[in-house]
Amino acid sequence: MIKLPLYVAVAWLLGFGFFVVNLPQAKTLPYPDNSDGIIVLTGGAGRLEAGLDLLEKEVAARMLISGVNPVVEPHELSALTGAEEALFTCCIDLDRAAPNTAGNATESAAWAKKHGFHSLVLVTADYHIPRSLILFRRAMPEARILAHPVKGEWPILYIANEYNKYMVTLLGEAFKRAPEAAASPSPSGVDHD
């Protein structure tokens, strides 16, 4: 019984090490073809600048910044990033409703549907990409989502916290799929036990 916490701690450390070693690498431009839209998730350094760089390089013609604080105005984002305010008027939409990553995925799916977008570039921190892709692919199963990880010197506690959230999300997805698979009829229409 005393060994159980030790096994759990070792399993967590091994999983965390694997997670860190396999963080996605920075993308090189150009992408294979133009995408319909760019989605930037707020909450970390360098994300907005990376999204604006993609927009300026015409990777896509429109961008959504998801999870913007309701009191922040476009001219403030323009001043913060040094990007032209006209860019925010013509080509950038702000989502102020998403409170978290799952909300980002839901709001982004509505935005993509409104514009008829099916190919999207998702910009967020490298450590945030694995969980974000799970949630975005669940919200938009028909869309092609390309990850654009933003590299940085992140505090280890940020990454550890994200790893915990990733594992919870991964387990949640596994348990959701298990009942669906059990309830699905066999291809022949006959259930086999």
Distance, CA of 94 to CA of 63 (rounded, Å): 9
Task: Establish if 160 belongs to a structural domain.
Answer: no
pLDDT at 191: 39
Kindly state whether residue 159 falls inside one of the protein's structural domains: no
First to last CA, the chain: 36
Residue 83: predicted pLDDT: 87
Residues 2 and 9: beta-carbon distance below 8 Å: no
Angle between helices 129-139 and 101-115 (to 10 degrees): 50
Q: How much is the pLDDT for 22?
A: 93
Q: What is the pLDDT of residue 187?
A: 46
How many angstroms separate the CA atoms of 47 and 65, rounded? 10
Give domain status of residue 59, yes or no: yes
Range of the domain at 134: 38-152
CATH code of residue 54: 3.40.50.620
DSSP letter for each residue of 104-130: HHHHHHHHHHHHT--EEEEEEEGGGHH
Residue 158 lies in a domain: no
On whether residue 181 sits in a domain, the answer given is: no
Q: Tokens 């909450």, residue? A: 43
Closest CA relative to residue 94, chosen from 147, 42, 150: 42
The verdict on residue 124 lying in a domain is yes
**Distance, C-alpha 33 to centroid of its chain:** 20
Residue 159 CA from chain centroid, whole number: 15
Residue 180 has what pLDDT? Answer: 55
Cis amide linkage into residue 30, ω under 30° from 0: yes
Q: What pLDDT is attached to residue 176? A: 79
Please, are residues 136 and 66 in contact by the beta-carbon 8 Å criterion? no
Sign of the torsion formed by the C-alpha atoms of 124, 128, 129 and 133:
negative
Secondary structure class of 135 (helix, strand, coil): helix
Domain count for the chain = 1
Residue 31 lies in a domain: no
pLDDT in tens, the chain (193 residues): 568 888 999 999 999 999 999 998 877 666 666 799 999 999 888 999 999 999 999 999 999 999 999 999 988 998 888 888 888 889 999 999 999 999 999 999 999 999 999 999 999 999 999 999 999 999 999 999 999 999 988 999 999 999 999 999 999 988 876 555 555 554 444 333 3
Answer yes or no: is 144 within a domain: yes
- The answer to whether 147 and 129 have CB atoms below 8 angstroms apart is yes
